[in-house]
Amino acid sequence: MREKCAVFGITSDSDVFDSIYKGLYSLQHRGQESAGMAVCSKGRIRIHKGMGLVSQVFNSVSLDGKCGIGHVRYSTTGLSEVENAQPLLINYSKGSFAIAHNGQIVNAAELKSTLESRGNVFTTTSDTEVIAHLIVREHIKTDDLVAGIRNAMGYLKGSYSLTLLHGNTLIAVRDPSGVRPLVYGKSGDTHVFASETCALDVLDIDLVRDIKPSEIMTITGSKVRSDIGKAGKVSHCMFEYVYFARPDSILDGKSVYEVRKNLGAVLAKEGKVKADLVIPVPDSGITQAVGYARASNIPFGEGLMKNRYIGRTFILPDQKQRDIGVKVKLNPIRSELAGKDIILVDDSIVRGTTIKKLIHLLKDAGAKKVHVRISCPPLKFPCFYGIDMQSRKEFIAAKKTVEEIRKEIGADSLVYTSIKGLLTAIGLPVTSMCMACLNEDYPLTDPQTKL
Ligand code: SF4
């Protein structure tokens, strides 16, 4: 059950299909394997979903209705199946709802086996269906959907930003730690929930605020209601700022672009070195390289040209696809590199295979020296909260020192941003951040209600 995705939801006084399409299109960087939407028309929810990009899944489909939700998904190989594409549609004695989820439920297997032992039948391998079964159970018990959701949250351990569609009611839910982002925007009679603000911008919707950790926000027509569930320790994912979110998004009040520029400036201080040119690994290192170049007064340049028609190598699901990705994706610009000492800036090192190939490419193209600067401190521990880094074996920094990594990848020098530097760049209190993949301090430790 490994997912990292995006959710979207909208209610308006006109048809919403085009808006959901555009919203999902702008969130495509969060998931490229499947896409789907559910729209309510005349009290009936209709769903369309499939494998592939938003443009492929919806190339000849349209859904009528003024209220709907959408989802884009990424999963690992075995789970990349259309059955797991979202939204999921749930029919039960109290009606029906559609649900879309970004995050990961840590105790999903345990909850699923208890629910199965009590007669619940599951049709997917996705942890989202566990959330849905719990909501159904608690809705039936309490006779109130919001109360049911609040009760269901008590059983769940993990990260979840959700959008739900129940008739013409649109609901957004964020877990008590606020691990994954979720924002609320409004313009006129149109209300939107989205994983990132870039999906509001594309629709000219004004950002109102982030959904609060533990919040359940419900919108029916023009009626907006906010309920706050049991509080948890707030733990926003630092990796959203470093890599995952789009730089033009604003998460929990912080511009991702500014954070990444700050990270570059921090690196210029912590990893100072004499060089002729600062170049990014496109696209993940661009903003940090801009920050580095400005802070160090070393010129910024483009030493690697990206073929922009393929996706990010990191989110391709297996090593073979990743290897192919690196080769066809980046080409060095010899005239920019020949005879120069280069500072190569990227966001993070996971396995080290990509950066090693890039250093080779740059040296083959005539670079004299390649100094590598990485804006995320060494990734050493697995993530169980919705980013696909689930095994320690994946991380080169879990096994090797910085000097050993430098030798392994063939860099002339290697500096990572410190954890202190990372926190300075983000500008949120350390107590409100998850950094478990850096320091093994896993935050979601509150006890759950026993099922
Ligand atoms: S473990 Fe790392 S990637 Fe996972 S939520 Fe925490 S900071 Fe984000």
Measured from the Cα of 433, ligand 1's closest atom is 7
CATH code of the domain containing 16? 3.60.20.10
- Global pTM? 0.93
Instruction: Give residue 160 CA to ligand 1 midpoint distance, Å.
Output: 13
Cα-Cα-Cα-Cα dihedral sign, residues 351, 106, 312, 439: negative
Q: Which of 348, 104, 205 has its CA nearest to residue 196?
A: 205
Residue 217, H or E segment: strand 215-220
Q: What's the CA-to-centroid distance between 435 and ligand 1, angstroms?
A: 6
How many Cα atoms within 13 Å fall on the side-chain side of residue 261? 10
Residue 238 lies in a domain: no
182 and 276 fall within a common domain = no
Ligand 1, atom 6, residue with closest C-alpha: 434
Please tell me whether residues 215 and 275 are part of one structural domain. no
What is the sign of the dihedral through the CA atoms of 316, 327, 278 and 373? positive
Q: Whose CA is nearest to atom 8 of ligand 1?
A: 237
Question: In this structure, are 291 and 174 located in the same domain?
Answer: no
Query: Does 179 share its domain with 269?
Result: no
> At 397, is the secondary structure helix, strand, or coil?
helix
Which of 435, 439, 444 has most ligand 1 atoms within 8 Å of CB, for mutation?
Answer: 435
Counting runs of H as helices and runs of E as strands, what totals does the chain give?
15, 23
Statement to judge: residues 224 and 92 lie in one domain: yes
Between the CA of 383 and the centroid of ligand 1 the distance, in Å, is: 5
Considering the domain architecture, whether residues 207 and 160 belong to the same structural domain is answered as yes
CA of 177 to the centre of ligand 1 (A): 12
What is the three-class DSSP state of 372? strand
User: What residue's CA is closest to ligand 1, atom 2?
Assistant: 437
Q: Are residues 135 and 262 in the same domain?
A: no
Contact 339, 381 (CB under 8 A): no
What CATH number corresponds to the domain at position 271? 3.40.50.2020
Q: For ligand 1, say whether the CB of 444 is within 6 Å of any of its atoms.
A: no
Going by C-alpha positions, the residue among 13, 3, 97, 85 that lies closest to residue 48 is: 85
pLDDT score recorded for residue 78? 40
Domain boundary, last residue among 168, 198, 232: 232
DSSP 289-326: HHHHHHHHTPPB---EEE-TTS--GGGSSSHHHHHHHH
Same domain, 259 and 345: yes
**Is 66 inside any structural domain?**
yes
Does one domain contain both 271 and 149? no
Q: How far is CA 425 from the centre of its chain?
A: 19
Q: How far apart are CA 178 and CA 385, in angstroms?
A: 11
19 part of a folded domain: yes
For residues 76 and 68, give the distance between their C-alpha atoms in angstroms, rounded to a whole number: 27
Ligand 1 pocket member 239 (CB < 6 A): yes
Any ligand 1 atom below 6 A from CB of 344: no
Mark whether 437 is an active-site residue.
Answer: no
CB-ligand 1 contact for 385 (6 Å cutoff):
yes
Tokens found for residue 10: 């909208």
Whether 450 is covered by a domain: the verdict is no
In a domain, 104, yes or no: yes
In a domain, 243, yes or no: no
Domain membership flag for residue 247 = no
- Could you give the CA distance from residue 161 to residue 179 in angstroms, rounded to a whole number? 8
- In this structure, the answer to whether residues 283 and 335 fall within a common structural domain is yes
**Separation of 270 CA from ligand 1 center, angstroms?**
23
418 domain residue, yes or no = yes
Catalytic pick among 5, 67, 198, 434: 5
- The minimum-distance atom of ligand 1 relative to the CA of 237 is 8
| Tens-digit pLDDT string for the chain (451 aa) | 344 799 999 999 999 999 999 999 999 999 989 999 999 999 999 999 999 999 999 999 999 999 999 999 986 434 667 888 999 999 999 999 999 999 999 999 999 999 999 999 999 889 999 999 999 999 999 999 999 999 999 999 999 999 999 999 999 999 999 999 999 999 999 999 999 999 999 999 999 999 999 999 999 998 999 999 888 899 999 999 999 999 999 999 999 999 999 999 999 999 999 999 999 999 899 999 999 999 999 999 999 998 877 654 444 555 555 555 666 788 999 999 999 999 999 999 999 999 999 999 999 999 999 999 999 999 999 999 988 777 777 899 999 999 999 999 999 999 999 999 999 999 999 999 999 999 999 998 777 888 8
Q: How many domains does the chain have?
A: 2
- Regarding the beta carbon of 435 and ligand 1, being less than 6 Å apart is answered yes
Q: How far is the CA of 426 from the centre of ligand 1 (A)?
A: 14
β pairing state of 67-73 and 34-41: antiparallel
Ligand 1 atom with minimal separation from the 382 CA: 1
Considering the domain architecture, whether residues 197 and 339 belong to the same structural domain is answered as no
In the reported structure, the alpha carbon of residue 101 is separated from the centroid of ligand 1 by a whole-number distance in angstroms of 17
Query: Which atom of ligand 1 approaches the CA of 384 most closely?
Result: 4
Mutation to probe ligand 1, out of 175, 241, 347, 387 (largest number of atoms < 8 A from CB):
387
Cβ of 383 below 6 Å from ligand 1: yes
- What is the DSSP annotation of 14-52? S--HHHHHHHHHHTGGG--SEEEEEEEETTEEEEEEEES
Cβ(237) – ligand 1 distance below 6 Å:
yes
Structure tokens at 110: 């345990």
For CA atoms 281, 282, 285, 286, give the dihedral sign. Answer: positive
Tell me, yes or no, whether 195 and 287 share the same domain: no
Q: Is the CB of 350 under 6 A from ligand 1?
A: no
Q: Structural domain of residue 373, as residue ranges?
A: 254-439
In this prediction, residue 316 carries a pLDDT of 52
